[in-house]
Structure formats: C-alpha cells, structure tokens
C-alpha cells in the first residue's frame, strides 16, 4: 500500500518539488493549492511518471474548514495519512511604516494560521491512527534576524518554528513526528517578486529590483529547489527536528545562538544596503 501525503502550496516551488520527490519514492500525494488547474495538471503529469501517484486539489489554507475537509476526505479515501506538509506561504515585506494592517493580516493568515490549520486538522487523525509525520515549512528567517524590510515574513516564520518544536514534543509519545524545514535562498518564483493579488505594494518594494536580481548581484548562492526537496526528504527519513538547507545557513543559526550581536549586525547591514539600493533606483 502506498504511503499518503498532503502537500499544501503543491502547485509550484518547494511544494511541487517535495511532491515530486515523494512520488518518485512511490507515495500517493495530494497537491493542494489555490491554483487548482496547475495542481491537477502536475498531479496528472507525476502520475504518468510514477512510480507513485498524485492528484491536484483546491484549498485555501486560510480557511480552516477547507483544510479540515481536505484532510478528512483524503484519510477517508485512503484509510491513512502518513505525512502532512504545511508548505503554502507568501512573501510580504517593506519598510515598517509603509505597511498597513492588511499586509500583516494577509501574511499571518497564510504563513502562520495556514500552518496551524494544517496541524489542527492532521494531528488528531494521526493520533487516532497511531502514527504520522508533519513537516512545517518555515525559513532561515525563522531562525536568525532578518533585514527590517522582512519583518512580516520573519514574524510568521519564527512562529512556525516555535509551533513545530512544541508540537514535536507533544507528539513524541504518540508516534507522531514533527519537523520544520528552514530553507535559505531557494530557486522559486518567490525570488521573482511574486506578490498577493489585490494587496497594495509598498513604495520601497515597488521601487526595488526583484530579490533574485539583488541576490545575484551580491553573489549569494541560490539553491536548486529539486536539491532542497531531496535534502529535506532525506532529513525526514532520519526524523531530524530542524532541516536547515543549504548547510551553510546552519552556521549562521549556530552563530546567532552563540554570538547574537554578530548576526544582528549583519541584519542591520542588510537593512541599510536595501535602503541604499531603493534610494539609488528612485533617483535614476
């Protein structure tokens, strides 16, 4: 019998890469996403490739009832849920004084509440069946200080990390394993300036180059998403609590625990550098 997984945000980026890796390992995967058409297309494609299978499904992780229905229907159809991947997320940033409450509400509802909704739905199912694994996707921004323009994103990702640590302790005696994935710069559409529809774009973001452009100019390493997925799935097989990928970001997280001012100084330098870049573009 195939193992069964749900991957939210499964129509693109990290979610799709994780889903692909699971299908290649013989799993059945539900690719759940707001982009229903793309999710179903990828599900059909992956099923043709095998050796596992996949289907696409529509879900808005901001809606707890929709997430609960997805988990219940998947478990009812297959009789098990072995892995819940709470991956759906968005990137919102800008200078703090530019942000409206709608910016904060949108990213919290998606990046933090969306993960909570997934855990809230999947954990009791796994408790009843006596086994299961949850992977929450956070970021290295949930482990170390970020530039000031990333405050909304960092707030949600620190929350996901804290939730995952606590849920891991809660599930340990019940056969439920919980891990948190903390990626660095990964080659996904988020680097190209994807922005939620119908949400005002702060001036500092509108006048900034896409994040990918800035990273390439700075010489930063952008990690391939398929390699991230392989690294993450190997880490899950070893039941690692925190998956920091790529490995060089692990050094920064250790340094922050040992010498906090050093990493805080880097965050301040990045904040100033981003402001300088915006200022230069504004006056071109």
Task: Look up 153 and say whether it is catalytic.
Answer: yes
What are the phi and psi torsion angles at 194 (to 5°)? -60, 135
Distance in angstroms (rounded) separating the CA atoms of residues 83 and 256: 31
DSSP H or E segment with residue 165: helix 151-171
Distance in angstroms (rounded) separating the CA atoms of residues 16 and 42: 8
Residue of 244, 224, 232, 238 lying closest to 85 (CA atoms): 232
What are the phi and psi torsion angles at 60 (to 5°)? -110, 110
* Active-site option among 123, 153, 165, 223: 153
Between the two ends of the chain, the Cα-to-Cα distance in Å is 61
Strands 132-137 and 28-33: what pairing?
unpaired
How does DSSP assign 225-244, residue by residue? HHHHHHHHHHHHHTT-SEEE
Strands 28-33 and 53-58: what pairing?
parallel
Longest dimension (CA), the chain: 62
Query: What is the length of the chain?
Result: 284
Please say whether the beta carbons of 118 and 241 come within 8 A: no
Residue of 132, 9, 241, 184 lying closest to 19 (CA atoms): 9
DSSP 197: T
Distance in angstroms (rounded) separating the CA atoms of residues 115 and 139: 13
Q: Indicate which residues carry an active-site annotation.
A: 153
């Amino acid at each position: 019998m195939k193992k069964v997984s749900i991957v939210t945000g499964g129509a693109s980026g990290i979610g799709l890469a994780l889903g692909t890796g699971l299908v290649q390992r013989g799993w059945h995967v539900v690719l759940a996403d707001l982009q229903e058409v793309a999710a179903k297309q990828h599900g059909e494609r992956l099923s043709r490739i095998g050796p596992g299978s996949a289907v696409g499904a529509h879900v808005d992780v901001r809606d707890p009832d929709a997430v609960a229905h997805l988990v219940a229907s998947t478990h009812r159809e297959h009789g098990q849920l072995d892995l819940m991947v709470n991956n759906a997320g968005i990137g919102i940033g800008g200078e703090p004084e530019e942000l409206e409450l709608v910016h904060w509400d949108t990213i919290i509802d998606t990046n933090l509440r969306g993960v909570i909704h997934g855990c809230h739905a999947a954990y009791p199912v796994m408790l009843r069946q006596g086994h299961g694994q949850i992977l929450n996707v956070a970021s290295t921004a949930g482990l170390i200080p970020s530039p000031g323009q990333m405050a909304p994103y960092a707030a949600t990702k620190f929350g996901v990390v804290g939730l995952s640590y606590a849920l891991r302790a809660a599930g340990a005696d019940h056969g439920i394993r919980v891990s948190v994935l903390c990626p660095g710069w990964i080659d996904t559409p988020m680097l190209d300036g994807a922005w939620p529809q119908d949400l005002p774009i702060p001036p500092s973001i509108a006048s900034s180059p896409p994040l990918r452009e800035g990273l390439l100019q700075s010489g930063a390493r952008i990690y391939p998403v398929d390699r991230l997925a392989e690294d993450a799935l190997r880490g899950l097989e070893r039941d690692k609590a925190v998956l920091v990928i790529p490995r060089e970001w692990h050094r920064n997280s250790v340094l922050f625990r040992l010498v906090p001012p050093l990493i805080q100084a880097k965050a301040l330098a990045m904040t100033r550098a981003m402001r300088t870049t915006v200022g230069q573009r504004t006056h071109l």
